[in-house]
């Protein structure tokens, strides 16, 4: 089948196309309408149909492949590997569902999950889906402040956490962070279910709130819980993403549209079918972890590899040894992960039998050409860049080896995927730009199945964040792009104040607010600066309330404070203390000029600059080096 025909059918006859794709999942009640679009840009896919993500991911496979591996949870940190069949997964999910139901969780209730890549995180997600609860997985690298913000927005009845995670052999206690977050939150959960891994000292327990997972599990060892059949457009989960304000946005996903989109993507994009193996190195707290560690492979009847650990431990060949042992067909990772391996001896890429491996997909941040060439030559496999967002839930741009493999163009994530009406338009006029010209990547609504349905509890923010940037009601990706004559897109970076650190999105406003809580800081400006390993890193320019002697100490304290409040990902790479920040005469911070100077580029038009001396302050600070960094 030609890519062009497959894609064009999804554009010309979306209802016919998606009706066919919907046959890949189980419907308890068939949809009465494939698409309802009476209130643009809000839409309802498979309206009136009832289904369940857990049933599609687990129960429906029991007869045909109950003894096949569903999940392999590998931790190079603890040295533990758990191989779990579909039948065993069904048992574990039922037990977990009975446990959380006993704690008062039911249909529509929210459950926050704060865990590393461990099997119980997957059990918890699927258990929520089984009973119709709405899960919100929070990345374990986030600090208590971030977790508290998400708790207050989601207002969960229950929080499920591990006692600890591990990173590079270092134990990271989770329970104290959960306790601190619950203290900060205005709407803390009634219960905290703690899964102990024995990695940290016995945590402090809050009587009446904290529940020991092992003790409760013993009460429900043989439980069976009926599936809750959900209308296609009910919420399945929330996943928070940073925005340009300090408050994170709760991306709300549906049930039916998400299941159908993932079912299509597994065979058409990732070329994985029932009985085959997919290995995604993502964390379950990110969008890739949801879609391609948990739901996608299981909906397809495949085996999913869940990995906790570094790509270099116990040695830089650990990922490839997993591919060899389990016969991985398709692997999904990030450019940062590959750049980490690039610092190691390339011989590690050739120590294992990768004959079954067909494709390595990379996403989460732009893939630079040198890295793409290095890994292509190193493992001798096709490397496919793909572009998507937390909001879309599955790729917007990619290649489709399961349908029609088009040529790879290094630097481009590829072509539009089914249902995505892609345009590249001028930021000012809203008109389409010519091939090769820079513009904003937008999507004509209705968004295809699988994309966010709204921002949790805030339809107005959904509209303002994604559909208010142009006269036409278009979904703005907030990314610059160009398209070439063949239709391939090339992503050039953000149009807003969001930094992409190793695939993790950080709002500059959030980091600035954290810096400003330091008692000595008068004002702070945060920009994303190019980094050879992580793609971008946050860099701070700060003014102080009073001139102090220990500038370096203050700068280091700012770095440490951001790390404590927002987590290690957000800790600034460098802090520059300056006498003034460059602003326009109307008081707007010139962040793009700061970014350009930090990257040794032309700062652009400075005709609106209020105080030229402020820019010279920045130049001098950059010349003498960071007051704190590392």
pLDDT in tens, 295-315: 999 999 999 999 999 999 999
Do the Cβ atoms of 169 and 308 come closer than 8 Å? no
pLDDT at 583: 77
- pLDDT confidence band for 623 (50 / 70 / 90): confident
Query: Which among 26, 405, 476 is positioned nearest to 230, based on CA atoms?
Result: 26
Q: What is the pLDDT of residue 205?
A: 93
pLDDT level of residue 36 (50, 70, 90 thresholds): very high
Question: Rounded to an integer, what distance in angstroms lies between the CA atom of residue 203 and that of residue 385?
Answer: 43
Q: Does the pLDDT value for residue 41 go beyond 60?
A: yes
Cα distance between residue 117 and residue 501, in whole Å: 20
> What does pLDDT average to over the chain?
93
DSSP 8-state symbol, 431? P
pLDDT for the residue 605: 62
- Domain 3-309+386-444 sits in CATH at 3.40.50.12780
| Residue 443: band (very low, low, confident or very high) from pLDDT cuts 50, 70, 90 | very high
CA distances from 217 to 95, 112, 199, 211, 378 (A): 7, 19, 19, 10, 46
Mean pLDDT score, 562-566:
89
pLDDT class of 246 with cuts at 50, 70, 90: low
For residues 219-250, b (16+ Cβ closer than 10 Å) or e, as one string? ebeebebebbebbbbbbbbbbbbbbeeebbbb
Q: For the chain, what are the domain ranges? A: 3-309+386-444, 500-629
| Phi then psi dihedrals of residue 164, to 5 deg | -165, 160
Is the per-residue pLDDT at 608 higher than 70?
no
Residues 51 and 28: beta-carbon distance below 8 Å: yes
pLDDT (0 to 100) of residue 20: 98
Winning range, highest mean pLDDT, from 191-205, 258-272, 491-505, 532-546: 258-272
Give the span between the Cα atoms of 74 and 482, in whole angstroms: 40
Q: How confident is the model at residue 135 (pLDDT cuts 50, 70, 90)?
A: very high
Alpha helices in 349-493 (DSSP H): 369-379, 459-466
> What are the two backbone dihedrals, phi and then psi, of residue 507, each rounded to the nearest 5 degrees?
-80, 130
Measured CA to CA, the distance from residue 320 to residue 589 in angstroms comes to 46
Q: Is the pLDDT of residue 270 over 70?
A: yes
Query: What is the pLDDT, as a whole number, of residue 369?
Result: 85
Mean pLDDT, range 86-110, rounded to an integer: 98
- Tokens representing 113 are 């999950």
Two tokens at 503? 């695939």
Phi-psi region of 414 (alpha: psi -120 to 50; beta: other; left: phi over 0): left
More reliable by pLDDT, 305 or 504: 305
Q: How far apart are the first and last CA of the chain?
A: 51
- Measured at the CA of 266, the angle between CA 265 and CA 269, to 5 degrees, comes to 55
Mean pLDDT to the nearest integer, 104-118: 97
pLDDT for the residue numbered 452: 98
pLDDT band at 507 (very low <50, low <70, confident <90, very high): confident
User: What's the average model confidence in pLDDT over 522-540?
Assistant: 89
Weakest-pLDDT range from 200-209, 265-274, 460-469: 200-209
DSSP letter (8 states) at residue 387: B
Which pLDDT score is estimated for 213?
A: 97
CA dihedral 583, 585, 587, 592 (to 10 degrees): -40
pLDDT grade, residue 470 (50/70/90)?
very high
Q: What is the pTM of this model?
A: 0.85
The whole-number average pLDDT for the span 267-284 is 97
CB 268 within 8 A of CB 84: no
What local confidence, expressed as pLDDT, does residue 569 receive?
Answer: 87
Residue 614 has pLDDT above 90, yes or no: no
The Cα–Cα gap between 1 and 20 comes to: 15
Give the pLDDT of residue 450: 98
pLDDT of 157 over the 60 cut: yes
DSSP code at position 244: S
Q: How far is it, in rounded angstroms, from Cα 233 to Cα 570?
A: 34
Confidence of residue 523 (pLDDT cuts 50, 70, 90): confident
Q: What is the pLDDT of residue 309?
A: 95
CA angle 508, 509, 511 (to 5 degrees): 65
For 162-215, what is each residue's pLDDT tens digit?
Answer: 999 998 899 999 999 999 999 999 999 999 999 999 998 888 899 999 999 999
Domains 3-309+386-444 and 500-629 share a fold: no
Residues 6+ apart with CB under 8 A from 14: 34, 35, 419, 446, 448
Q: Which of 339, 356, 488 is CA-nearest to residue 413? A: 488
Task: Write the DSSP symbol of residue 292.
Answer: I
Q: What is the pLDDT of residue 586?
A: 52
Segment 382-426, tens digit of pLDDT: 999 999 999 999 999 999 999 999 999 998 999 999 999 999 999
State mean pLDDT over 354-376.
Answer: 91
Label the pairing between strands 249-253 and 535-544. Answer: unpaired
- Say what the pLDDT of residue 522 is: 83
Return the pLDDT at 494.
76
- Please tell me the predicted confidence (pLDDT) of residue 548: 67
In angstroms, the Cα distances linking 56 to 177, 231, 248, 289 are 34, 14, 30, 18
Q: Does residue 566 register a pLDDT over 90?
A: no
H or E element in which residue 355 lies: none
| pLDDT score at 524 | 86
**pLDDT score of 581:** 84
What does the DSSP 8-state code read for residue 609?
B
Q: What is the rounded distance in angstroms from the CA atom of residue 202 to the CA atom of residue 182?
A: 18
Distance CA 34, CA 14 (A): 9
Q: What is the pLDDT of residue 132?
A: 98
CATH superfamily for 500-629 is ANL, C-terminal domain (3.30.300.30)
CB-based contacts of 407, cutoff 8 Å, min separation 6: none
Residues 409/415, Cβ–Cβ less than 8 Å: no
Cβ neighbours of residue 165 under 8 Å, at least 6 residues apart? 77, 115, 116, 140, 171, 172, 174, 199, 308
Whole-number pLDDT of residue 364: 84
Nearest to residue 75, comparing CAs of 116, 126, 113? 116
Q: Which 8-state DSSP code applies to residue 584?
A: B
Q: What are 45-65's pLDDT values in tens digits?
A: 999 999 999 999 999 999 999
């Amino acid at each position: 089948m030609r890519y062009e025909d497959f894609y064009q059918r999804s554009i010309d006859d979306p209802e016919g196309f998606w009706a066919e794709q919907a046959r890949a999942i189980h419907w308890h009640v068939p949809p009465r309408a494939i698409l309802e679009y009476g209130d643009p840009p809000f839409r309802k896919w498979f309206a009136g149909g009832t289904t369940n993500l857990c049933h599609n991911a687990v129960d429906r496979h029991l007869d045909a492949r109950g003894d096949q591996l569903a999940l392999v949870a590998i931790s190079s940190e603890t040295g533990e590997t758990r191989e779990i069949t579909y039948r065993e997964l069904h048992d574990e999910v039922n037990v977990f569902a009975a446990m959380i139901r006993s704690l008062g969780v039911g249909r529509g209730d929210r459950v926050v999950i704060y865990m590393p890549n461990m099997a119980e995180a997957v059990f918890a997600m699927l258990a929520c889906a089984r009973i119709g609860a709405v899960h919100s997985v929070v990345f374990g690298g986030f600090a208590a402040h971030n977790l508290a913000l998400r708790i207050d927005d989601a207002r969960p009845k229950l929080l499920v956490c591990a006692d600890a995670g591990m990173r590079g052999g270092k134990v990271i206690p989770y329970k104290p962070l959960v306790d601190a977050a619950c203290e900060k939150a205005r709407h803390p959960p009634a219960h905290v279910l703690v899964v102990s891994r024995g990695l940290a000292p016995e945590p402090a327990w809050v009587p009446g709130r904290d529940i020991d997972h092992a003790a409760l599990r013993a009460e429900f060892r043989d439980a069976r819980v009926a599936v809750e059949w959900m209308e296609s457009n009910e919420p399945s989960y929330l996943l928070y993403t940073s925005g340009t304000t300090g408050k994170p946005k709760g991306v709300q996903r549906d049930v039916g549209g998400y299941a159908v989109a993932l079912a299509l993507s597994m065979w058409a994009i990732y070329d994985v079918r029932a009985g085959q193996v997919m290995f995604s190195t993502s964390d379950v707290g990110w969008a890739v972890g949801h879609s391609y560690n948990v739901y996608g492979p299981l909906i397809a009847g495949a085996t999913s590899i869940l990995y906790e650990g570094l790509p270099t431990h116990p040695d830089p060949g650990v990922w490839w040894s997993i591919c060899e042992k389990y016969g991985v067909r398709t692997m999904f990772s990030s450019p940062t992960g590959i750049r980490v391996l690039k610092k190691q001896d390339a011989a590690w890429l050739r120590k294992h039998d990768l004959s079954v491996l067909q494709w390595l997909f990379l996403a989460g941040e732009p893939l630079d050409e040198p890295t793409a060439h290095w890994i292509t030559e190193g493992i001798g496999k096709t490397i496919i860049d793909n572009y998507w967002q937390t909001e879309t839930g599955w790729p917007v741009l990619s290649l489709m080896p399961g349908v029609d493999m088009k040529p790879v163009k290094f630097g481009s994530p590829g072509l539009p995927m089914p249902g995505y009406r892609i345009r590249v338009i001028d930021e000012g006029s809203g008109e389409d730009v010519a091939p090769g010209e820079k513009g904003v990547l937008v999507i004509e609504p209705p968004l295809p199945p699988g994309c966010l349905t709204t921002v949790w509890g805030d339809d107005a923010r959904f509209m303002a964040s994604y559909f208010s940037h142009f006269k036409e009601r278009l979904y703005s990706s907030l990314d610059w792009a160009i398209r070439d004559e063949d239709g391939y897109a090339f992503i050039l970076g953000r149009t807003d104040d969001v930094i992409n650190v190793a695939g993790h999105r950080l709002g500059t406003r959030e980091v600035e607010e954290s810096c400003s809580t330091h008692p000595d800081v008068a004002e702070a400006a945060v920009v994303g600066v190019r980094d050879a390993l992580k793609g971008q890193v946050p860099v701070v320019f700060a003014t102080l309330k009073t001139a102090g002697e220990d500038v370096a100490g203050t700068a280091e304290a700012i770095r440490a404070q951001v790390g404590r409040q927002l987590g290690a990902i957000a800790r600034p790479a460098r802090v520059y203390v300056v006498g003034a920040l460059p602003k326009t005469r109307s008081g707007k911070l010139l962040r793009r000029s700061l970014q350009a100077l930090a990257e040794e580029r032309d700062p652009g038009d400075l005709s609106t600059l209020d105080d030229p001396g402020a820019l010279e302050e920045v130049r001098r600070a950059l010349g003498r080096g960071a007051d704190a960094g590392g």
